[in-house]
Amino acid sequence: MGLQDIKDKTAAAEAAAGRAPGSVTVIAVSKVQPDARVHAVLSEGHRTFGENRVQEAAGKWPGFREEFDGIDLHLIGPLQSNKARQSFELFQCIHSLDRPKLAKTFARLAQETGGCPDLFVQVNTGEEPQKAGILPADADAFIKDCLGMDLPVRGLMCIPPADEEASLHFALLAKIAERNGLKGLSMGMSGDFEAAIALGATHIRVGSAIFGARETG
């Protein structure tokens, strides 16, 4: 438990998979954590964080940015189109590009503002009706459309079904990324980040194993 432990396990998993040290970015998922816990992880020197709600991020991160330089904030939760503009101001990276309408909104905002956060396309690898994401069968065409709009798509993201072997989903995501020439893989959470690293994760999203259990959310 804790940041150092996750960093050590990440380094060990990189080595075990024959991957370069530092090739995996640890996103500390700070959603609904008390500010004091987030402050402690910032004070340890960590700068890469993930939030799943725009509103919550807008409430807490401007304050932390006044105190700490170089914060790299990632949106990992679903995004409503009407919050896209705000998300461009708050986040350096968005992992939840999950539908054509949002891609069009991003393209328009990128033109207007002259910039765009790094993007991951979320793939619904488990084809779960209640879950966001592009279906695997539609992924190639969607990625092509996004790149055609000059969107900075860096990779793919998935959240495997809770009751299935996560590695099967990680392997599927890696395969879709590879055939589309994408290098980034946002996959792996507290319970399965080592398996994700073995299958090529470049970004792991770890919350409770760094900060402790969440009270809600």
Ligand X SMILES: *Cc1c(COP(=O)(O)O)cnc(C)c1O
Q: Where do contacts with ligand X occur on this chain (CB under 6 A)?
A: 29, 31, 52, 76-77, 159, 189-190, 205-209
Quick one: 50 or 200, whose CB is closer to ligand X?
A: 50
Quick one: 155 or 207, whose CB is closer to ligand X?
A: 207
Quick one: 54 or 76, whose CB is closer to ligand X?
A: 76
Distance in Å, CB of 112 to ligand X, minimum: 28
Residue 36 CB burial class (10 angstroms; 0-12, 13-18, ≥19):
exposed
Q: 60: which residues sit within 8 A by CB, 6+ positions away?
A: 35, 38
Distance in Å, CB of 7 to ligand X, minimum: 15
Question: What φ, ψ does residue 24 adopt, rounded to 5°?
Answer: -110, 125
Q: Which residue sits closest to ligand X, CB atoms considered?
A: 207
Q: Is 73 helix (H, G, I), strand (E, B) or coil?
A: strand
Q: Residue 74: beta bridge partners?
A: 50, 93
Distance in Å, CB of 205 to ligand X, minimum: 4
- φ/ψ region of 49 (left if φ > 0, alpha if ψ in -120 to 50, else beta) reads beta
Quick one: 10 or 52, whose CB is closer to ligand X?
A: 52
Distance in Å, CB of 15 to ligand X, minimum: 22
